Amino acid sequence: MEYRDRWRQEKEGPIPAKAGIGLRFPHHAAVLDTLPDIAWLEVHTENYMGGGQPIAYLEMIRAHYPISLHGVGLSLGSAEGLDVAHLERIGEVARRIEPALVSEHLSWSVVDGLYIADLLPLPMTEEALDIVCRHVDQTQAYLRRRILVENPSSYLRWRHSTIPEWKFLAAVASRTGCGILCDVNNIYVSAANHGWDSSAYLAGLLPAAIGEIHLAGHSVRELGGGRVLRIDDHGSRVIPAVWGLYAAALARFGAVPTLIEWDTDIPELRVLIGEASRAETLLGEVRQGFRDADAA
Amino acid sequence: MPTLLELQRAVYRGLVAAEEGFCAAHVVADRIVGEARLNVYRNTLIGNLTTALRLVYPAIHRLVGGPFFESAARLFIEAEPPQSAWLEEYGAGFPEFLAGFAPAASLPYLPGVTRLERAVNMALHAVDAAPLDLSRLAAVNAADQGHIVFVPHPSVGLLAADYPVDAIWRAVLSQDDAAMTAIDLAAGPVWLMVERNASGVEVLRLPEPEWRFMSELCASRSLQEAIDAAPEIDAASVLAGHLAAGRFIRFGLRSELIQVVN
């Protein structure tokens, strides 16, 4: 019953439980000119701060599509507190765009007022959990809305971590009421890099908390001696194993809004739409499954 | 066990200040050592910030070439890391950095082009603001007009350079070799105004007295002070041109300055 209720709720929600694509500058004009049949779009919030052409374009696009604002710079895990000026810039973009979803990452990027331009992994400790929860509370109170927090891909773990990442993420959701943006590619990448069990990761997340799924391509870096690190570079198609993990995620979570991300070597819009329609096929099967269950 | 703050400071020193080994001790090392894992982040952040600088300074990138730009960026990132995640703001100190960067000394116009690109980028991303209400301006008593202090549109920037940096900038970005060859570096200084209007960002060359007048107005001097600083121009008509172009968004009288600033 829980799953079916979820499906009904999402069907009426601001972002449909369908496939969307990450919108990047090279596709602004093509999207406005052709208005492709895509259920929704997601952008990086930081790219639309300030005034001028970027936000003006996004406002025009917003007239045709629900928009999700996905931030990369708030640094929810900074020990010293959030950069309030950055939170205000996010608030200003949200005021103009009226997004259907707002999301950020389970990571940190800022220390001593300096921005380290990447999503850095947190130690999975009670101290870090308290800090992240405080900052999610602060963000939700400021924006006056629920946000989603995404599991990052990671290339290292800290020795003093004591909590599995999925339990940490689930605890942030249960303590703050935020949702989870489940990046299936990131689970695959991190699990490969750290020897985790990706099924255990999915099983550790409550379906009711999942507000969105991300899919993307990644690369494999050879380090010699048969050692590899998988790198989340968003520069290629989703690999078959990640499609498989996505199907497992849908089986557990039900139909969830799903985004195709592509950030390096950005291809033509039709390639992104092709990847999205592949996700849409899987989403359709899940929706059909719930309809059948409803009818039975 | 480090506190979160201690760990984050160690990571900063290990990744940005490039002090190897500093935070690797805290990393789980199995088949892949900590430094190799940290290197993924180091490469990403240097790549991200170099790209951010290249987007702000595309003409400089072309003028000096990719490898030179990347090595200069690497040193600049270490010296002046970004202070916020809004990377459009990043790189304010890059013109001064290049001015003092010995390998760039053979291109004397480089700092000027860098400052122009900085102003263009500021104009591109400045917050939106509506031009001031001219009917309110018309209501100011004649006796008070000299006390008017204007607030410029956030996209307006003024800069002077010893070389024709606007011509260099245009020629480089349009990859116009003929225009580049035709540039006379000895042609004397230029006085530039950068602004964003409906059609995009524009770089305009002003006569020096008009530039001086506008600089005074943009520096919160009163209208009378600006007129006194540039007595040789027809201030009324120059000001009318700026107002018509929407280059000011608010005004106040000197006695109300605090309200203007707010």
| B128/A contact by beta carbon, under 8 A | yes
Residue in chain B closest to A56 (alpha carbons) equals B128
Question: What pLDDT score was predicted for residue B261?
Answer: 47
**Top-confidence residue, A10 or A279:** A279
C-beta neighbour count of B70 within 10 angstroms: 16
Binding-face residues of B in 59-88 toward A, CB within 8 A: 81-88
| B142/A contact by beta carbon, under 8 A | no
Minimal CA separation from B227 to chain A, in Å: 31
Question: What pLDDT score was predicted for residue B256?
Answer: 57
Of B4, B12, B49, the CB nearest to A127: B4
> Mean of the per-residue pLDDT values for chain B?
93
Task: Flag if A160 and B16 touch (Cβ within 8 Å).
Answer: no
Minimal CA separation from A11 to chain B, in Å: 35
Measured between beta carbons, which residues in chain A are less than 8 angstroms from residue B26? Answer: 123, 158-160
pLDDT in tens, A213-228: 999 999 999 998 889 9
pLDDT in tens, B5-35: 999 999 999 998 877 667 888 999 888 888 8
Q: How far apart are CA A200 and CA A193, in angstroms?
A: 15
pTM: 0.93
CB B227 within 8 A of CB B235: yes
Residue A1 has pLDDT above 50, yes or no: no
Task: Flag if B83 and A118 touch (Cβ within 8 Å).
Answer: no
How sure is the predictor about A133, in pLDDT bands with cuts at 50, 70 and 90? Answer: very high
Residue A4 has pLDDT above 60, yes or no: no
Question: What is the torsional sign of CA B138, B140, B145, B151?
Answer: negative
Task: Flag if A159 and B28 touch (Cβ within 8 Å).
Answer: yes
pLDDT, average across residues B154-158: 98
Residue A11 has pLDDT above 90, yes or no: no
Alpha carbon dihedral A201, A203, A204, A206, in 10-degree steps, equals: 130
**Three-state SS at B13:** helix
Task: Flag if B5 and A74 touch (Cβ within 8 Å).
Answer: no
Residue in chain B closest to A54 (alpha carbons) equals B125
Question: What is the torsional sign of CA A157, A160, A165, A168?
Answer: negative
Q: How far apart are CA B30 and CA B91, in angstroms?
A: 38
What kind and span of H or E run contains B126? none
Question: What pLDDT score was predicted for residue B102?
Answer: 86
Minimal CA separation from A125 to chain B, in Å: 9
Q: How far apart are CA A56 and CA A70, in angstroms?
A: 18
Measured between beta carbons, which residues in chain B are less than 8 angstroms from residue A130? Answer: none
**Three-state SS at B51:** helix
Task: Flag if A117 and B38 touch (Cβ within 8 Å).
Answer: no
Residue B183, strand partner residues: none
| B49/A contact by beta carbon, under 8 A | yes
Using a pLDDT cut of 70, give the percent of chain B over it. 96
Residue B193, strand partner residues: B158, B204
Measured between beta carbons, which residues in chain B are less than 8 angstroms from residue A159? Answer: 26-28
Which residues are within 8 A (CB) of A279 and not within 5 positions of it... i.e. 6 or more apart? A19, A215, A246, A258, A260
> Alpha helix (H) ranges present in chain B?
4-15, 34-56, 58-64, 66-79, 94-99, 110-125, 134-138, 165-173, 177-182, 208-218, 223-229, 235-244, 257-261
Q: How far apart are CA B220 and CA B213, in angstroms?
A: 11
Question: What pLDDT score was predicted for residue B31?
Answer: 85
Question: What pLDDT score was predicted for residue B103?
Answer: 85
pLDDT in tens, B84-139: 999 998 999 999 999 888 888 889 999 999 999 999 999 999 999 999 999 999 99
Q: How many Cβ pairs within 8 Å bridge chains A and B? A: 134
Question: What pLDDT score was predicted for residue A292?
Answer: 81
DSSP designation for B25? G
Task: Flag if B28 and A131 touch (Cβ within 8 Å).
Answer: no
Q: How far apart are CA B85 and CA A216, in angstroms?
A: 23
Measured between beta carbons, which residues in chain B are less than 8 angstroms from residue A49? Answer: 86, 88, 125
pLDDT, average across residues B185-189: 94
Binding-face residues of B in 193-222 toward A, CB within 8 A: 196, 200
| B182/A contact by beta carbon, under 8 A | no
Of A79, A85, A160, the CB nearest to B8: A79
| B40/A contact by beta carbon, under 8 A | yes
Of B1, B41, B124, the CB nearest to A118: B41
ipTM of predicted complex: 0.93
Q: Is B73 exposed, middle or buried (0-12, 13-18, 19+ CB in 10 A)?
A: buried
Identify the structural domains of chain A with CATH numbers, from first to last.
2-295 (3.20.20.150)
Task: Identify which of A133, A153, A131 has the alpha carbon closest to the alpha carbon of residue A220.
Answer: A153
How sure is the predictor about A6, in pLDDT bands with cuts at 50, 70 and 90? Answer: very low
pLDDT, average across residues A158-185: 98
CB B65 within 8 A of CB B107: no
The Cβ-side half-sphere exposure at B40, using a 13 Å CA radius, reads: 25
pLDDT in tens, B236-249: 999 999 999 999 99
Least confident of A179-183, B167-171, B196-200: B196-200
CB B104 within 8 A of CB B86: no
Which residues are within 8 A (CB) of A236 and not within 5 positions of it... i.e. 6 or more apart? A217, A218, A219, A265
Would you kindly state where each structural domain of chain B is located, as residue ranges?
A: 1-107
Minimal CA separation from B188 to chain A, in Å: 33
How sure is the predictor about B4, in pLDDT bands with cuts at 50, 70 and 90? Answer: very high
**Three-state SS at B86:** coil
pLDDT in tens, A64-107: 999 999 999 999 999 999 999 999 999 999 999 999 999 999 99
Question: What pLDDT score was predicted for residue A5?
Answer: 42
Measured between beta carbons, which residues in chain A are less than 8 angstroms from residue B7? Answer: 123, 158
Residue in chain B closest to A46 (alpha carbons) equals B86
Task: Flag if B5 and A111 touch (Cβ within 8 Å).
Answer: yes
Sheet containing strand B190-197, strands side by side: B157-161, B190-197, B200-205
- DSSP state letters, B101-112: -GGGTT-TTHHH
- DSSP state letters, chain A: -HHHHHHHHHHTSSS-SSEEEE--GGGHHHHHHH--S-S-EEEEGGGG-SSSHHHHHHHHHHTTS-EEEE-SSS-TT-TT---HHHHHHHHHHHHHH--SEEEEESSEEEETTEEEEEEEPPP-SHHHHHHHHHHHHHHHHHHTS--EEEPPP-S--BTT--S-HHHHHHHHHHHH--EEEEEHHHHHHHHHHHT--HHHHHHTS-GGGEEEEEEE--EEEEEETTEEEEE----SPPPHHHHHHHHHHHHHH-S--EEEE--SS---HHHHHHHHHHHHHHHHHHHHHHHHHHH-
Task: Flag if A50 and B88 touch (Cβ within 8 Å).
Answer: yes
Q: Which amino acid is at A53?
A: Q
DSSP designation for B130? P
Of A110, A111, A118, the CB nearest to B44: A118
